[in-house]
Amino acid sequence: METAKVKKLPSRTVTIEVFVVVAIALIFMFVLPPILTSLGQGFRVSLLGRFLALAIAGLAIDLIWGYTGLLSLGHGVFFGLGGYAFAMHLKLQFEPGTEVQLPSFMPLYGVTELPWFWQPFYSFPFTIVAVMMIPAIFGAIIGYLIFRNRIRGVYFSILTQALTIIFFNFFNGQQKLINGTNGLTDFQTLFGARVTAPETQQVFYLLTIVCLVLTYALCRWLTSGRFGRLLVAIRDDEPRVRFTGYNPTGFKVFVFAISAALAGIAGALYTPQTGIISPKAMDIAFSIEMVIWVAVGGRASLVGAVLGTLIVNFAKSLLSEQFPQIWLFFQGGLFLVIVMVLPNGLVGWLREQGWELWQQLMGKRTLSTYPALELEGELDLEIDHEHPGD
């Protein structure tokens, strides 16, 4: 499968990781859907497809927040841009012999000619490039202006949040151009196949998993190696990075653009599976939700970002089926619990306390405090064996 990208590093652990990731991906692709369908839970497959698309956005947030320390509260904008780009292509599919070659909502508002910026979206290749490049270019411009002026921390977060408000209002107001508050919906065909047909949806489902695996591989490559260490260094002590001779601006702009592009892909995959993209995707709440997924799963852990996205979204759908009123309270509570009890998320907890707990359960001796390492010669020796000084 496409994860072969990472195989370049000739390390055994990498091979194992590729194997595990591909295996999980194949299970999600071909084993899980029939099982769920046979249990009469077929609609869960379509939910899963959407959530896996959201997981790509989760990875995007993890890259920019977990690794680089930039808390973006505006990724909904990039998600929306990607979603709109793809939806525009879908709205330009017409049945043969249709007289008015216009997206269905336009005649309602008296638009008789296709606006200029819709024209290129007739082309499928252009749309695919646009899904990634529009958010990326936009992210790069915004990022450059923000980072060049050394705006950091909470000020960066506030700026990105302001961005969502601007976009939300702008998209809401453009009734004639992009159907305003209703958004783009009622998709008909793609390459002649009905968008809503189960077969087409299955293709989107498989495509989403492939994209998620590719995204995971990309993020894994970016965050390992020297570049990834530099991201962590920027996160932990940016001024120090400058005095070491790196100019962080370029690195941050680059990561922000990549992250924006990934959010755009997520939006483009999510849109045909839900059947709608509306300005709600650029709502502040949605952007904050993305951050919550990653916080729950574990910052600076790619697996955590994916896991967190799936857990929170399934919890959301299960809870809102049973108690429609309760979800928002639950989400707020969840965030509080995570911040106070599991500041490093589920994966962070598993890495630290979880491991100790496991050893305790297995009756193994545990290290109580760090100094014990230095005092006990035996342990010191072990460490030496692990990392011979050559």
Partner 1 sequence: MNILEIKNLTVSFDGFKALNQLNFSMEKGELRTIIGPNGAGKTTFLDTITGKVKPTSGQVRFKGRDLRSYSESEIACMGVGRKFQTPRVYLNLTPRENLELASNKQKNLWGTLFFQPSVVERRSVEELLGVIGLQRKADWKSGLLSHGEKQWLEIGMLVAQSPDLLLVDEPVAGLTDEDTERTGNLLVSLANEHSIIVIEHDMEFVRQIAQKVTVLHQGSVLCEGTIDEVQSNPQVIEVYLGAQEEDHAESD
- Interaction site with partner 1 (CB under 8 A): 222, 225-227, 229-230, 232-233, 236-237, 239-248, 250-251, 254, 370, 380, 383-384, 386-387, 389-390
Torsion angle of the four alpha carbons 29, 56, 326, 37, in this order, in degrees rounded to the nearest 10: -10
CA gyration radius for the chain?
23
Name the residue nearer to partner 1 (CB basis): 7 or 194.
7
Name the residue nearer to partner 1 (CB basis): 40 or 385.
385
Q: Closest distance between partner 1 and the C-beta of residue 390, in Å?
A: 8
Name the residue nearer to partner 1 (CB basis): 133 or 233.
233
Q: Closest distance between partner 1 and the C-beta of residue 257, in Å?
A: 11
Q: Any bridge partners for residue 276, and if so which?
A: 185
Name the residue nearer to partner 1 (CB basis): 22 or 137.
137
Name the residue nearer to partner 1 (CB basis): 167 or 254.
254
User: In the numeric block, which tokens belong to residue 329?
Assistant: 């309270």
- Cβ atoms of 221 and 14 within 8 Å: the answer is no
Give, as one character, the DSSP assignment of residue 63. Answer: I
Rounded distance between C-alpha atoms, residue 260 and residue 311, angstroms: 23
Strands 189-190 and 193-194: antiparallel
Rounded distance between C-alpha atoms, residue 137 and residue 143, angstroms: 10
What counts of helices (H) and strands (E) characterise the chain?
18, 4
Name the residue nearer to partner 1 (CB basis): 15 or 247.
247
Q: Closest distance between partner 1 and the C-beta of residue 357, in Å?
A: 21
Q: Closest distance between partner 1 and the C-beta of residue 260, in Å?
A: 16
- Cβ atoms of 132 and 82 within 8 Å: the answer is yes
Q: Closest distance between partner 1 and the C-beta of residue 129, in Å?
A: 22
Q: Closest distance between partner 1 and the C-beta of residue 9, in Å?
A: 9
CA-closest candidate to residue 208, choices 80, 66, 47: 47
User: In the numeric block, which tokens belong to residue 169?
Assistant: 């209002």
